[in-house]
Amino acid sequence: METNQKVKKKSRFREVAHRFAQRKMAVVGLVIFACLLLMALFAPMIAKYGEDEQDLANALAPMSAEHPFGTDVVGRDLFSRIVLGSRVSLFVGVISVSIALTVGGTLGAIAGFYGGKVDNLIMRFFDVTHAVPTMILAMCICAALGQGLFNTMLAVGIASCPGYARMVRASVMSAKAQEFVEAARANGASDGRIILRHILPNCLAPIIVQVSMGVAGAILSAASMSFIGLGIQPPAAEWGALLSGSRAFIFNRPNLVFFPGLFIMLTIFSLNLIGDGLRDALDPKMKR
């Protein structure tokens, strides 16, 4: 009997990790993302030049050993700027999602848990925002708040709130319908306890998946904002801003546009792979 039970005692975390590790593409995503993360952490050591170190004599230099990605119009090393910019982009992604998850998630949880009029009010509000495409909503919020790093994060965060609210609401509602919640209520547990101890853990899987993909989406939105001149502005080394700042040289020096975009794509690609892998690993339907 002991041997029977030992097998089942694998913890949930290890089980999911094991399942995740079996998905090649997910592991590829994790490796790419880990590299990007390390790059951001040790950015000042990797970058040979400073963020604003100009060398006008060497402006618009082509790719070379000295400047692997070339230099921009005032002679700044693109590689160094991309490396340093990774900090900004990843930071923007994480903070925007935190804002969206905190505001949207909380509202969604309240709507899903209490239902009725509260639910109606909150969800009707999000219906309104639903009518305006996220990109345009972010644009308006960005315009209202003004440029800058923090405002961009806030704008992207608020604009993506409805998605998180809907997702959390749906999973709270399905968790609420489960019998263990009724059992907890029958045992006299308070609302707060029921939400924290019983409902939240059961909503975790979709939230984790949405967050990993949401960071990707937020980085993309923030870069788009920078690109149309609303978000983080040059000379800041944010990837979208780097790309947008060198747009004029697209015909002579396409590398200046290619590399920042490539890094945006790699980041988003890896996060999406991780998200896909997590969804499969966490999905109980995949179990047999």
Q: Where do contacts with another protein occur on this chain (CB under 8 A)?
A: 1, 3-4, 7-8, 18-19, 22, 25, 125, 127-129, 131-136, 139-146, 216, 220, 223-224, 227-230, 240, 243, 247, 250-251, 254, 257-258, 260-261, 264-265, 268-269, 272-273, 276, 285, 287-288
With contact defined as beta carbons under 8 Å apart, do 288 and 277 qualify?
no
- Residue number with CB closer to another protein (96 or 195): 96
- Chain CA centroid to CA 284, Å: 24
Question: In angstroms, what is the minimal distance from the CB of 280 to another protein?
Answer: 10
Residue 265's H or E segment, with its range, is helix 255-282
Closest-CA residue to 81 (of 281, 286, 255, 284): 255
- Residue number with CB closer to another protein (16 or 207): 16
Q: Per-residue b/e over 64-74, b at no fewer than 16 CB within 10 Å?
A: eeebebbbbee
- Residue number with CB closer to another protein (25 or 183): 25
Give the C-alpha separation, 166 to 147, whole Å.
Answer: 29
Query: Residue 286: helix, strand or coil by DSSP?
Result: helix
Question: In angstroms, what is the minimal distance from the CB of 80 to another protein?
Answer: 20
- Residue number with CB closer to another protein (195 or 218): 218
Question: In angstroms, what is the minimal distance from the CB of 55 to another protein?
Answer: 25
What is the token pair recorded at 100? Answer: 């969206």
- Residue number with CB closer to another protein (31 or 136): 136
**What DSSP letter does each residue of 139-201 carry, written as one string?**
HHHHHHH-SSHHHHHHHHHHHTHHHHHHHHHHHHHHHHTSHHHHHHHHTT--HHHIIIIIIHH
- Residue number with CB closer to another protein (117 or 287): 287
Question: In angstroms, what is the minimal distance from the CB of 198 to another protein?
Answer: 23
Question: In angstroms, what is the minimal distance from the CB of 287 to another protein?
Answer: 8
Question: In angstroms, what is the minimal distance from the CB of 128 to another protein?
Answer: 4
